[in-house]
């Protein structure tokens, strides 16, 4: 009887030896928590489709971020729910809106905690699209790219002036990273980091977020500006353009169905890559776990480590708090 020469199982026998040869280790430092800020005080309004997540008023956001910081999580990304919406999304640029108010409160009380501001108009437009609309030559209604870019640059300056460490444009308009970079630099805010949602796909996995941010498009969809899930060469072109325009960190979104894209971006460019573990990825795991169909903790950690193994340096995830607790 002959025995195999290679015995990979030797290195799998005990937890100690598995730890010794483990290639990818998740740390709380890898995580950024997405949070939804709304007006008011003492408000924590649960989001039905995202068990464990809530819309929060500024004071509650502050308490939440203290806890995140104590778990070693370096920062949070803020999405805003304004008091009122209009066709051009003007509330996105209101220095007294919920997002700037939360940024100021956080930077006062937790100066070392990184505050990211998502920059997009879809939470602020009454039609739910990512910018003001215009009719094209063929009569089709579409988001007006250049007017949107101007508004995004103004909003980015408002958030940066409030104290944001990072601005993260998630709109997918052409040329917005360059416009935001020059607006920030022109306002003396050259140290503000830009994380661009460079490869953002038109995904069904954003469904629960649209309840959370009250930003579902009133008509049509976002396929005229977000990417076709069938494409990955195009993602490399988007990333190259955003880096050229001044992005410091590039993001791939969603993460789970696009691990190959994360990998290609990391291999090709070697820059810091963020992956967004989006609302639908969170909710489907929560739903299966609530039914007793899956081990939530193990599935969560498996998904997150896969994103890091694929090449993500940073993971934006609604699991941030739960995951960090398991990493201690
Ligand atoms: C705004 C934005 C969206 C998400 C992040 N920023 C929604 C969308 O593009 O429709 C989705 C996040 C998630 O699903 O968790 N443009």
The per-residue pLDDT for range 274-297, each reduced to its tens digit, is 999 999 999 999 999 999 999 999
Q: Provide the pLDDT confidence category of residue 5 given band limits of 50, 70 and 90.
A: confident
The atom of ligand 1 lying closest to the CA of 205 is 14
Length of the chain, in residues: 328
- pLDDT, one tens digit per residue, over 74-90 is 999 999 999 999 999 99
| Catalytic, out of 45, 107, 253, 308 | 253
Q: Is 301 exposed, middle or buried (0-12, 13-18, 19+ CB in 10 A)?
A: middle
Which pLDDT does position 3 carry in this prediction? 81
Pairing of strands 141-143, 249-253: unpaired
Which pLDDT does position 2 carry in this prediction? 79
Could you tell me what percent of the chain has a pLDDT over 90? 95
Average of pLDDT values for 36-54? 97
Domain membership flag for residue 133: yes
Which pLDDT does position 14 carry in this prediction? 98
Where in the sequence is the domain holding 151, given as residue range(s)? Answer: 19-248
Which one of 49, 76, 170 would you pick to mutate in the ligand 1 pocket, going by the greatest count of ligand atoms within 8 A of its CB?
A: 170
pTM above 0.95, yes or no: yes
Is there a cis peptide before residue 254, judged by omega within 30 degrees of 0?
yes
- The contacts of residue 38 (CB under 8 Å, 6+ apart) are 45, 55, 56, 57, 80, 81, 98
Domain membership flag for residue 2: no
Average of pLDDT values for 17-35? 98
Ligand 1 centre from 240 Cα, in Å? 22
Ligand 1 in reach of 283 Cβ (< 6 A):
no
Q: Of the ranges 184-193, 212-221, 242-251, 275-284, which one carries the lowest mean pLDDT score?
A: 212-221
Ligand 1 centre from 196 Cα, in Å? 13
The atom of ligand 1 lying closest to the CA of 278 is 15
Number of neighbouring beta carbons within 10 Å of residue 218: 9
Which one of 213, 253, 257 would you pick to mutate in the ligand 1 pocket, going by the greatest count of ligand atoms within 8 A of its CB?
A: 213
| Chain CA centroid to CA 80, Å | 13
Which pLDDT does position 17 carry in this prediction? 98
Whole-number Cα distances in Å, 288 to 30, 51, 258, 297, 298:
25, 12, 21, 12, 13
Ligand 1 in reach of 209 Cβ (< 6 A):
yes
Structural domain tally of the chain? 1
Which pLDDT does position 326 carry in this prediction? 95
Q: Is 253 a catalytic residue?
A: yes
* The three-state (H, E, C) secondary structure of the chain, written as one string: CCCCCCCHHHHHCCHHHHHHCCCCCCCHHHEEEEEEECCCCCCEEECCCCCCCEEECHHHHHHHHHHHHHCCCCEEEEEECCCCCECCCHHHHCCCCHHHHHHHHHHHHCCCCEEEEEECCCCCECCCCCCCEEECCCCCEEECHHHHHHHHHHHHHHHHHHCCCEEEECCCCCCHHHHHHHHHHHCCCCCCEEEEEEEEECCHHHHHHHHHCCCCCCCCCCCCCCECCCCCHHHHHHHHHHHHHCCCEEEEECCHHHHHHHHHHHHHHCCCEEEEECHHHHHHHHHHHHCCCCCHHHHHHHHHHHHHHHCCCEEEECCHHHHHHHCC
- pLDDT, one tens digit per residue, over 106-145 is 999 999 999 999 999 999 999 999 999 999 889 999 999 9
> Residue 225 and residue 172: Cα distance in Å, rounded?
6
CA pseudo-torsion sign 91, 95, 101, 106: positive
Ligand 1 in reach of 172 Cβ (< 6 A):
no
| Chain CA centroid to CA 36, Å | 12
Ligand 1 centre from 12 Cα, in Å? 40
Q: Is 200 a catalytic residue?
A: yes
Mean pLDDT, the chain, rounded, equals: 97
Ligand 1 in reach of 206 Cβ (< 6 A):
yes
The atom of ligand 1 lying closest to the CA of 279 is 15
Ligand 1 centre from 1 Cα, in Å? 59
Domain membership flag for residue 81: yes
Ligand 1 in reach of 50 Cβ (< 6 A):
no
Average of pLDDT values for 51-64? 98
Q: Provide the pLDDT confidence category of residue 4 given band limits of 50, 70 and 90.
A: confident
Which pLDDT does position 328 carry in this prediction? 62
Domain membership flag for residue 183: yes
Ligand 1 centre from 209 Cα, in Å? 6
Ligand 1 centre from 206 Cα, in Å? 6
- The contacts of residue 14 (CB under 8 Å, 6+ apart) are none
Ligand 1 in reach of 118 Cβ (< 6 A):
yes
- pLDDT, one tens digit per residue, over 311-322 is 999 999 999 999
- pLDDT, one tens digit per residue, over 157-202 is 999 999 999 999 999 999 999 999 999 999 999 999 999 999 999 9
| Catalytic, out of 85, 135, 200, 286 | 200
Ligand 1 in reach of 78 Cβ (< 6 A):
no
| Chain CA centroid to CA 113, Å | 17
Could you tell me what percent of the chain has a pLDDT over 70? 99
Question: Could you tell me the CATH number of the domain that includes residue 137?
Answer: 3.20.20.70
Look at ligand 1, atom 2, and give the residue with the nearest C-alpha. 170
Domain membership flag for residue 7: no
């Amino acid at each position: 009887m002959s025995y195999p020469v290679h015995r990979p199982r030797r290195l799998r026998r005990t937890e100690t030896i598995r730890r010794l040869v483990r290639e990818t280790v998740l740390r709380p430092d890898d995580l950024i928590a997405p949070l939804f800020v709304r007006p008011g005080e003492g408000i924590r309004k649960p989001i039905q489709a995202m068990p464990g997540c809530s819309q929060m008023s500024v004071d509650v956001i502050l308490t939440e971020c203290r806890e995140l910081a104590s778990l070693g999580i370096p920062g949070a990304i803020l999405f805003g729910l304004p008091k009122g919406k209009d066709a051009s999304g003007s509330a996105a640029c209101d220095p007294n809106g919920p997002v700037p108010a939360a940024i100021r409160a956080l930077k006062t009380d937790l100066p070392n905690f990184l505050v990211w501001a998502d920059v997009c108009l879809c939470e602020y437009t009454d039609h739910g699209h990512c910018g003001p609309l215009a009719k094209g030559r063929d009569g089709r209604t579409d988001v007006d790219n250049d007017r949107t870019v101007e508004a995004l640059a103004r909003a980015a300056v408002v958030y940066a002036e409030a104290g944001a460490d990072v601005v993260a444009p998630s709109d997918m308009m052409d040329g917005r990273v360059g416009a935001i970079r020059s607006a920030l630099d022109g306002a003396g805010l050259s140290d503000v980091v830009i994380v661009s949602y460079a490869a953002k796909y038109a995904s069904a996995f954003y469904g629960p977020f649209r309840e959370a941010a009250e930003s579902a498009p009133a008509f049509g969809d976002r396929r005229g500006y977000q990417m076709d899930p069938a494409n990955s060469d195009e993602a490399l072109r988007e990333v190259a353009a955003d880096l050229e325009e001044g992005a410091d960190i590039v993001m791939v979104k969603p993460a789970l169905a696009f691990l190959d894209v994360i990998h290609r971006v990391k291999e090709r460019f070697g820059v810091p890559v963020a992956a967004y573990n989006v609302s639908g990825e969170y909710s489907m795991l929560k739903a299966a776990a609530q039914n007793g169909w899956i081990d939530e903790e193990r599935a969560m950690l498996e998904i997150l480590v896969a994103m890091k193994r694929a090449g993500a340096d940073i993971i934006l995830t609604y699991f941030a708090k739960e995951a960090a607790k398991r990493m201690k």
